[in-house]
Amino acid sequence: RKPVTAPGLRAMKEKGQRIVALTAYDASFAVLAERAGVDFVLVGDSLGMVIQGQSTTLPVTVDDMVYHTRMVARGLETALLVADLPFMADRSVEHALEAAWRLVAEGGAAMVKLEGAAAHHLAVIEALVSRGIPVCAHLGLTPQSVHAMGGFKIQGRQQEAADRLLQEALQVEAAGAAALVLEGIPTALGKIVSQRLAIPTIGIGAGVECDGQVLVIYDLLGLTPGRRPKFSKDFLEGRGSALAAVQAYVEDVRAGVFPGLEHSFD
């Protein structure tokens, strides 16, 4: 398989090929994702919750992200390696450049992801892109803003909030983002944003009309303790191996049958 690249993501959207994304935090899970044909492997700051056992992503540090990105890089061959900028790594353009430099140079990431579309986020996106670091934006339910949102709540349900989200999506695209994660928004809004942007959208709890999908691998394997989030699915149920589970996810995303209505919001 040919390596997946940042410009290649846009080409996939143009050809109508759905993008399959999945998180990984170590080399073994990276190998699993690679073998199953995942396109986009995200070292998410969700590692603060699923690896470190914390209740939010806020305590995750740049050091944590660099460490896990390096582990994942060793397991990948062709999938695009994307790493999250953790909370407050974007507090200034200088800090963001420093953190992204480490994720790319020490960690081996080929793209970094950051949450939000305020003026300073747009400045960070432009600064990274102008230095040759591709950026994935992230809008909707942005977990680093959990306190501002008053919890992990679906975003963009009111018309005004939906209009604002579409404007933000157009702004991150104009700032040079190569892809956009849409999290926790109604299916109809995910569809509109995906139609209006040239760059691909990658949804999680954002409906089946996005250009790709992402899940946390622990959710996909049914390993996350507690109640399963509505947007995820235990793909290991009824299957004999973790590889078969990830392969089923890849097939279902490519075929447009995951997420179903039961995993989506209106």
Q: Is 183 a catalytic residue?
A: yes
Binding positions for Na ion, rule: CB under 5 A = 44-45, 84
Q: Is 200 helix (H, G, I), strand (E, B) or coil?
A: coil
Q: Which stretch binds ligand KIV (CB under 6 A): 38-46, 226-234, 239-247, 250-258?
A: 38-46
Report the C-alpha gap between 224 and 258 in whole angstroms: 19
Contact present, 216 and 207 (Cβ < 8 Å): no
Site string for ligand KIV, 190-229 (x = CB under 6 A): --------------x---------x-x-------------
Interaction partner, residue 65 (Na ion, ligand KIV, none; CB < 5-8 Å by kind) = none
For the chain, where are the alpha helices, taking DSSP H only?
6-15, 27-36, 47-50, 62-75, 93-105, 119-130, 146-149, 159-175, 187-196, 217-220, 242-254
Q: How many alpha carbons lie under 13 Å from residue 140 in its C-beta half-sphere?
A: 22
Instruction: Extract the tokens encoding 84.
Output: 């999250």
Annotated binding site: 45-46, 84, 113, 115
Annotated binding-site residue numbers for 3-methyl-2-oxobutanoate: 45-46, 84, 113
**Shortest Å distance, C-beta 240 to ligand KIV:** 26
Q: What is the DSSP letter of 143?
A: G
From 41-49, 71-79, 240-248, 251-259, give the range in contact with ligand KIV by CB under 6 A. Answer: 41-49
Tokens standing for residue 139: 């809008």
The number of residues in the chain equals: 266
Q: In angstroms, give the least distance from the CB of 86 to Na ion.
A: 8
Residues 219, 29: contact at Cβ < 8 Å?
A: no
Binding residues for Mg(2+): 45, 84, 115
Secondary structure element (H or E) that encloses residue 19, with its range: strand 19-23
Q: Which partner, Na ion, ligand KIV, none, binds residue 204 by CB below 5 to 8 Å per kind?
A: ligand KIV
Name which of 45 and 209 has its Cβ closer to Na ion: 45
Binding site for ligand KIV (CB under 6 A): 23, 42, 44-46, 84, 181, 183, 204, 214, 216
Q: Catalytic residues, which ones?
A: 183
